[in-house]
Amino acid sequence: MHDQTPPLRFRTPPGWPTPSPEWVELFQGAEPTAGWSPAADVPPAPARWTFWVPTRALRRRVPRSALVLLSVGAAVTVASFVVAVVLWALGLPAVFALPTLVAGAALWVVGVVRYGDRISEAVAEVRAWSAARRAGELPPRVAQAHPDVAPDEALAAWDADAWTVPSARPFHEGTPSRAIPRAQHVLAGVTAGVAALVLLGGAVVAAVPAVDSVGQELSAASSTDGSGPSADDPSGGDDAPQPGWASDDGSIKTYWLAADDEWEATCDMTPGTTTCDPWEITSDHSCTAIVTVGFFASADDDQPSRIEERTVTLTKGVPLVLVENYDEEASDIGDVTCATGDETDGDRVTATQHEDTTVADADVPAGCDEEDCVAFAVTPSADCAAAAVQFTVDAAVGSLTKPHDVAVVTPLHAGKATDVFVGGTEHAADVHAGAVTCRTASDQPGYAANS
């Protein structure tokens, strides 16, 4: 359904509007100068922000031959290690497996380095191709879109349309960052470390007959193997969830999900150009909880300019991701409290939910290009400006375990079907619809910003 995926995906900085598909197409790999933003009232991107990341479409541009050395090296390394263990278990000289183990590890590391070089070269080619195409195609596109104004005014109007702002700043291209080559270096370093541990394990199996020593080395190799990036994902390690609010007894904790995989499977599944945060909530016990969310006009503010409450269902041992879209600059969770008595009885909204297989390509959010997704049509019996639509997803995404819950906050209208996209799987059978709630209570608990 999505065969036109661009080779590079633009990562929208916090507080920025999402650029149009046409802008992303023409500016592939172009990075702004430090401090630039699309409009005067839009904050600059955070320092060292990675604006572009490779997609599967770019990795498919890398010749298959680039993967042969990597794949053969990894296969020979693993096979030689297994042979060494089998020879040791049979009481035969395991040292016979060491030459192929050394050769396989060397091929593996060299293959990863060459694959990383091909990725970096492909990114550079896309950037150069995009610049040439932009020079030739942008002027006529601007003139066609705004034929009745001067070229400079037409370009300013095109930029404003591309960024959905009243008045846009001219784009100033800066020096490309080394984020992608740096990620390839990290990948090569991790692979070299894993190969060294496998070699060490094979040497111990071949040279030390003691069962206890062998078992310790095998355990060390097993615990390390696979902890870094894989050959299919050369983007490097993702950021870990960042701790946020926690209850006094530590039974309920919140985290802001900083990694791409989790963000693409949650926030990137929501339409629109507003800011979005995915908040993970974990609990040591099951309950219906009231989540207090503060929204900050500026990230430097100590107190929120707006406070909202959401009603969600927490299940012991199952993380829940609360997906919040908003117009302010930042959000934060200030409290999560298990409801008592009939405190949330009136929050439940009667609604029908079923898979929607008729969604047009133009209406599918960007996240579906990176993660599999399923669309659910939600039809409520009453209006709600900010309903929490909850699902259980029987699939793992990044640090999110299988299963995990997702609660998407979205406006709903009585009798009208609204598509809510759930990421992490392409199978509707993996997604189980939960409660739809609309919290309207005016008595809100105290708010405490995360430290």
SS3 per-residue string spanning 167-209: CCCCCCECCCCCHHHHHHHHHHHHHHHHHHHHHHHHHHHHHCC
Are residues 54 and 76 in contact, defined by beta-carbon separation less than 8 angstroms? Answer: no
pTM: 0.50
Residue 442 has pLDDT above 70, yes or no: no
- pLDDT attached to residue 71: 77
Q: For residue range 94-124, what is the model confidence (pLDDT) as tens digits?
A: 777 777 777 777 777 777 777 778 888 888 8
Predicted local distance difference test score (pLDDT) of residue 201: 67
Question: Looking at residue 451, what is its pLDDT?
Answer: 45
> In whole angstroms, what is the distance from residue 76 CA to residue 101 CA?
7
Per-residue pLDDT for 178 more than 80?
no
Tell me the average pLDDT of the chain.
83
- Kindly report, residue by residue over 291-327, the tens digit of the pLDDT: 999 999 988 888 999 999 999 999 999 999 999 999 9
pLDDT at 159 over 80: yes
Residue with tokens 């006009």: 297
Nearest to 230 by CA among 188, 289, 274, 170: 188
Residue 237 has pLDDT above 50, yes or no: no
Work out the average pLDDT over 262-274. Answer: 84
| pLDDT given at position 366 | 79
pLDDT at 232 (0 to 100): 38
The answer, yes or no, to whether residue 394 has pLDDT greater than 90, is yes
Q: What is the pLDDT of residue 245?
A: 93
What are the structure tokens assigned to 100, written together?
Answer: 């192929």
Instruction: Provide the percentage of residues in the chain whose pLDDT is more than 70.
Output: 82
pLDDT for res 450: 58
Residue 217 reports pLDDT greater than 50: no
The whole-angstrom separation of Cα 447 and Cα 103 is: 60
* Between 103 and 445, the higher pLDDT residue: 103
Q: What is the pLDDT of residue 18?
A: 94
> What integer pLDDT is reported at residue 6 of this predicted model?
87
Instruction: Spell out a b/e string for 409-430, using b for 16 or more CB atoms within 10 Å of the CB, else e.
Output: bbebeeeebbbbbbbbbeebeb
With cut-offs at 50, 70 and 90, classify the pLDDT of residue 226: very low
Residue 16 has pLDDT above 70, yes or no: yes
Is the preceding peptide bond at 403 cis, omega within 30 degrees of 0?
yes
pLDDT(214) > 70? no
| HEC per residue, the chain | CCCCCCCEEECCCCCCCCCCHHHHHHCCCCCECCCCCCCCCCCCCCCCCCCEEECHHHHCCCCCHHHHHHHHHHHHHHHHHHHHHHHHHCCCCHHHHHHHHHHHHHHHHHHHHHHHHHHHHHHHHHHHHHHHHHHHHHHHHHHHHCCCCCHHHHHHHHHHHHHCCCCCCCCCECCCCCHHHHHHHHHHHHHHHHHHHHHHHHHHHHHCCCHHHHHHHHHHHHHHCCCCCCCCCCCCCCCCCEEEEECCCCCEEEEECCCHHHHHCCHHHCCCCCEEEEEEEEECCCEEEEEEEEEECCCCCCCCCEEEEEEEEEECCECEEEEEEECCCEEEEEEEEECCCCCCHHHECCEEEEECCCCCHHHCCHHHHCCCEEEEEEEECCCEEEEEEEEEECCCECCECCCEEEEEEEEECCCCCEEEEEECCCCHHHEEEEEEECCCCCCCCCCCCCC
pLDDT digits (tens, 9 = 90+) for 337-368: 999 988 898 999 999 999 999 988 888 887 88
State in Å, rounded, how far the first CA of the chain is from the last one: 44
Query: Quick check: 283 and 289 in contact, CB under 8 A?
Result: yes
Judged against a pLDDT cut of 50, whether residue 234 lies above it is answered with no
pLDDT given for residue 211 in this prediction? 42
333 with 245: CB under 8 angstroms? yes
Mean pLDDT: which of 5-14, 93-102, 177-186 is highest?
5-14
Per-residue confidence at 60, pLDDT binned at 50, 70, 90?
confident
**Residue 33 backbone dihedrals phi, psi, to 5 degrees:** -65, 160
- The pLDDT, as a whole number, for residue 227 is 39
**What pLDDT was estimated at residue 40?**
93
Rounded distance, CA 263 to CA 6, Å? 19
